[in-house]
Amino acid sequence: MMRIPLSALIGLFFTGLFFLSAIFAPWIAPYDPSAIIGDFWEPISWEHWLGTDNIGRDLLSRMIYGGRTTIFVAAAATVISFTLGTTLAFSAVVIGGWVDMVLSRFIDLIMSIPTLIFALVVLSVVPVTIPVLILVMGLLDLTRVFRLARAVSVDINVMDYVEAAKLRGEKTMWIVFREILPNALSPLVAELGLRFIFMVLFVSTLSFLGLGVQPPDADWGGIVKENKEGLIYGIPAAIVPGIAIAILAISVNLIADWVLSRTASLKGGRNG
């Protein structure tokens, strides 16, 4: 029987809560997120659990829909960076030679420019839409996944069973997906969580800078941008998305920690 530690349970609970509210946003949100239903920056009340925003929309409804956008963009970008990053890295290792060399050096080059700066340079010419945003974030973050996946698979690639598969005459793709991937999965799953958090922070930062999700839609970063003027007058609406981001990030971190420690103990004693 598998025992889940308390910290991981807390993480799973909150992560689940965020994902469920993202999926079921239209049913949960008490108001239309773009309808003006009151005065601007109304305080917390029974009608509006989190008050209203800078032009009188219900903040809770906007937070639920905003979380939907944030989680969707972050998850989609993570999927891109993961599938491409791991496939490229495993192929590079299995093929080896100059393919590995060229790919690794190119990844080093992209990583030599800070991700945010690179994203800003790219976003200065392309139209900022959600698919473009997902693609840019996914491609830029692929470098980190490539590095990790390459480091993990280099060790696996020299194992006897991979050697045996190669001698059997298996194709590169077969070796990548049937031999390397299953054995590299556990460290990669833990990394998946961390990449997802990074994507959440990344898209929030871009939206906050006005270069991410464009109005009238808003993700959590956009909600901060909309409500930042209120802070000067002592209205904490802009801090609400921050709390949501922090709770989501910490919960996913707790799960990643648990996955990592489980795989570590698995290696320690397989029979235990």
Binding site for other proteins (CB under 8 A): 108-110, 112-118, 120-127, 197, 201, 204-205, 208-211, 221, 224, 228, 231-234, 236, 238-239, 241-242, 245-246, 249-250, 253
Helix, strand, coil: what percent of the chain each, to 5? Answer: 75, 0, 25
Angle subtended at Cα 215 by Cα 214 and Cα 217, rounded to the nearest 5 degrees: 90
Minimum CB–partner distance for residue 162 and other proteins (Å) = 30
Minimum CB–partner distance for residue 108 and other proteins (Å) = 8
- Closer to other proteins by CB, 37 or 123: give it: 123
- Closer to other proteins by CB, 114 or 272: give it: 114
- Closer to other proteins by CB, 137 or 197: give it: 197
Residue 124 is given by DSSP the state T
Minimum CB–partner distance for residue 61 and other proteins (Å) = 21
Residues 6 or more apart whose CB falls under 8 angstroms from that of 206 comprise 119, 123, 133, 137, 212, 221
- Closer to other proteins by CB, 35 or 151: give it: 151
Minimum CB–partner distance for residue 267 and other proteins (Å) = 18
What DSSP assignment string belongs to 68-117?
HHHHHHHHHHHHHHHHHHHHHHHHHHHH-HHHHHHHHHHHHHHHTS-HHH
The CA-based dihedral angle spanning residues 59, 36, 28, 244, taken in that order and rounded to the nearest 10 degrees: -20
What is the number of residues in the chain? 272
Give the pair of three-digit tokens for residue 243: 């709390």
Give the pair of three-digit tokens for residue 130: 């959600």
Q: What CA–CA distance (Å, rounded) separates 12 from 213?
A: 27
Minimum CB–partner distance for residue 19 and other proteins (Å) = 17
- Closer to other proteins by CB, 127 or 272: give it: 127
Q: What CA–CA distance (Å, rounded) separates 147 from 154?
A: 11
- Closer to other proteins by CB, 2 or 125: give it: 125
- Closer to other proteins by CB, 90 or 202: give it: 202
Minimum CB–partner distance for residue 28 and other proteins (Å) = 24
- Closer to other proteins by CB, 148 or 156: give it: 148
Minimum CB–partner distance for residue 133 and other proteins (Å) = 13
**What is the amino acid identity at position 256?**
A
Q: Name the burial class of residue 193, with classes exposed (0-12), middle (13-18) and buried (19+) by CB atoms within 10 angstroms of its CB.
A: buried
Minimum CB–partner distance for residue 80 and other proteins (Å) = 17
Q: What residues pair up with 36 in beta bridges, in sequence order?
A: 57
